[in-house]
Amino acid sequence: MTNKTTVLALKYRPQVFDDLIGQEIIAETIYNSIKHNKSANAYLFTGIRGIGKTTIARIVAKSLNCENGIDNLCKENFCTHCNSIASSSHIDVLEMDAASKTGVDDVRDLIEFSRYGPTSAKYKIFIIDEVHMLSKQAFNALLKTLEEPPDYLKFIFATTEIKKIPVTVVSRCQRFDLSRIKTEELFQYVKKIVEKEKGNVTDDAIKLIVKISEGSVRDALSLLDRGLVSNLNNEQLNLEKAQKIYGHFDKSSLIELFYNLFKGDENKVVSLYREIYRTGVEPKVFLNDFLEILYFIKNISSITLDGSNFSLNDKEFNDINNISKLIEEKDVILFWQFTIKAMEELDIVSNPSLSVEMLLIRLMYLKDFNKHDFEEKIITKNKLDSTINKNEISINKKTIGQMKSTSQQDEIKPKLKSNEKNNKLLINNFEELIDLCTKKKEIKLKHELESNINLVAFDQGRIEIAFNEDLDKNFIKELSTKLYEWTNQRWIISLSKKEGLKTRRQEEKINKEKIFKDVKKSKIYKEIIKILPDAELLEIKKNKKEND
């Protein structure tokens, strides 16, 4: 597994199937096929850069020609064939870069060369890297030989862009899709290399290397190489130093920027960005990380810190989780679109940093963020959270958890606008509640009321509903808060074991089906079907005159 070279990506290049990481199933499949003399005429390896396509191609070539057989494949003390294949100098194993030899003439020379049997090895093998670069004529010239090659001939193709290869070629190969290396697996592999190299690298720095490499082993080892070279005096390569070397910055500063962005503090936002820019971070890298934080804000509820996610630490996770509760999802999506647009403009503007600054300012003016309003939201949220933590959800035989909102549990009352304090709204029934949500533009609440609420009872200050698994987990808390704001009255919302009425959406569906059945029984419909047998009833509209 070692080599005389000092470049880590080559020094630790796998030499046998057992050395491979992340591709165990593929390695086992090829191993079994060769062992039982059922190897394919042509292999096709596809996947992102640096995950082992060419490496596996060489291991396959060695497995087919090794003097010791596949069960005793050379790992350190190479036989003649394995040594030549590893150094790309074997007379019967030809490695060709399709990027430099794309023409039909090159392929014809290859086919002509394939007419002669191997000189010293058991098989003659052609390894073609980046095979998608071949011309259409070159691919056509390969087809016949690829489908029915001589017994001694094998083809091994590697590509990063499988879609550019004609289907006629792909269908003649045994295709293997190499997956990205899993985060935890790559972390352990890099850590093992650090120990072998006796490097002084912290786990956080290794995690950053793994994150930047995006599942590519070669990229990870190349990044590690840079880091170790910068620490020739055995200084520790910690996270802070690694961020400077690789042009990345601490997410906490970006999260702080987001916090001030939503506060509408223009001076602080621009100041934080300029500080990040001065550390050497390119605008494009900044915007990519900016998009990543937007993604986390939108999807933080579905992200877990399970030890294999190196994108966020505990503090960053909690900070983003708190911000996400204060920002509407539609705003996050809007920011995403504007940021993508700004990335397209970077190549046009002579100073990309100015473009990023203007993007941040535009985003603040876009939503007209107000510092006072945002801080008030934070104070309110903290009070709500502390109130909820103090109260347990009671479960008894009569109700499945009478889930109390903050308005039921605490004397903390949301601030009412001056014109609402004296104008107490009355909500007499469930339909009026839905209509009020429409007027107040509370679309999410309206959707839940219409689609997932099976009403059991409705009285002034009290709503009883049937338990529904599809109901949003925050619905009761949000509805109670809104009801208090609108009516200046505390409401009790409880979940019941009773079945309850059908939802409005269910009622609408039932009514629609009934109307369709009635229309299909009518004479006029039957007469139309006689004339037009293929006609289909899609929609029914009431005549306005009938309602007058």
104 residue type, one letter: V
Most confident of 152-166, 223-237, 243-257, 476-490: 152-166
Q: What is the pLDDT of residues 463-509, one digit of tens each?
A: 888 877 777 778 888 888 888 888 888 888 887 777 788 888 888 88
Instruction: Say what the pLDDT of residue 3 is.
Output: 52
For the stretch 298-342, pLDDT in tens is: 888 777 654 445 566 667 788 888 888 778 888 888 889 899 988
Does position 16 have pLDDT exceeding 70, yes or no?
A: yes
- CATH number, position 30: 3.40.50.300
For residue 78, is pLDDT > 60? yes
* Residue 1 in domain: no
Domain limits at 196? 183-246
Do 431 and 458 have their domain in common?
A: yes
Assess whether 479 and 542 both reside in one domain: no
Alpha helices by DSSP H, listed for 38-134, are: 53-65, 80-86, 104-114
pLDDT band at 387 (very low <50, low <70, confident <90, very high): very low
Looking at the structure of the chain, the number of domains it has is: 5
Same domain for 161 and 113?
A: yes
Residue 190's pLDDT is: 93
**Better-predicted residue by pLDDT, 191 or 365:** 191
pLDDT band at 424 (very low <50, low <70, confident <90, very high): low
25 and 109 housed in the same domain: yes
Contacts of 412 (CB under 8 A, 6+ apart): 383, 384, 387, 406
Asked whether residue 45 is assigned to any structural domain, the reply reads yes
DSSP 451-504: HS--EEEEETTEEEEE--TTS-TTHHHHHHHHHHHHHSS--EEEEESS--PPPH
Amino acid present at 258: F
Domain closes at, from 120, 152, 177 = 177
pLDDT of 398 higher than 50 = no
Across 178-187, 361-370, 373-382, 482-491, least confident range: 373-382
Among the candidates 215, 246, 277, a domain finishes at 246
Question: Does residue 165 fall inside a structural domain?
Answer: yes
Residue 414: pLDDT band by 50, 70, 90 thresholds? very low
Q: What are phi and psi of 134, to 5 degrees?
A: -65, 150
Q: Tell me, yes or no, whether 492 and 516 share the same domain.
A: no
CATH of the domain at 356: 1.20.272.10
Does residue 376 carry a pLDDT above 80? no
41 shares a domain with 173: yes
Q: How far apart are the C-alpha atoms of 217 and 370, rounded to whole Å? A: 46
d(C-alpha 99, C-alpha 95), whole Å: 12
Do 354 and 258 belong to one domain? Answer: yes
Q: For 270-294, what is the mean pLDDT?
A: 88
pLDDT at 29 over 90: yes
Domain assignment present for residue 386? The answer is: no
- Average pLDDT value over all residues in the chain: 81
- In this structure, what CATH number is given to the domain that contains residue 193? 1.10.8.60
Output 407 or 365, whichever has higher pLDDT: 365
**Within-domain flag for 383:** no
Q: Does 166 lie in the same domain as 130?
A: yes
Question: Where does the pLDDT of residue 547 fall: very low under 50, low under 70, confident under 90, or very high at 90 and above?
Answer: very low
**Per-residue pLDDT tens over the stretch 400-409:** 444 444 334 4
Rg (CA), the chain: 33
Stretch 425-445: mean pLDDT: 85
Of the three residues 475, 496, 517, the one that is the final residue of a domain is: 496
- Report the range of poorest mean pLDDT among 7-16, 133-142, 197-206, 312-321: 312-321
Q: What is the pLDDT of residue 389?
A: 46
Q: pLDDT tens-digit profile of 163-181? A: 999 999 999 999 999 988 8
Which pLDDT score is estimated for 396? 39
Q: Are residues 312 and 258 in the same domain?
A: yes
**Residue 485 falls within a domain, yes or no?**
yes
**116 falls within a domain:** yes
Q: Closest Cα to residue 326, out of 367, 292, 287?
A: 367
Residue by residue, DSSP assigns 371-411 as: HHHHHHHHHHHHHHHHHHHH-PPB--SSBS-B---HHHH-S
| Structure confidence at residue 6 (pLDDT) | 73
Same domain, 363 and 403: no
Give the model's pLDDT for residue 356: 92
* Cα 286 from Cα 123, distance rounded (Å): 51
Report, as an integer, the average pLDDT of 512-535: 77
97 and 16, same domain (yes or no): yes
Residue 276 lies in a domain: yes
Domain identity same for 211 and 158: no
Q: Which residue has the higher pLDDT, 102 or 387?
A: 102
Mean pLDDT in residue range 20-33 = 91
pLDDT at position 454: 84
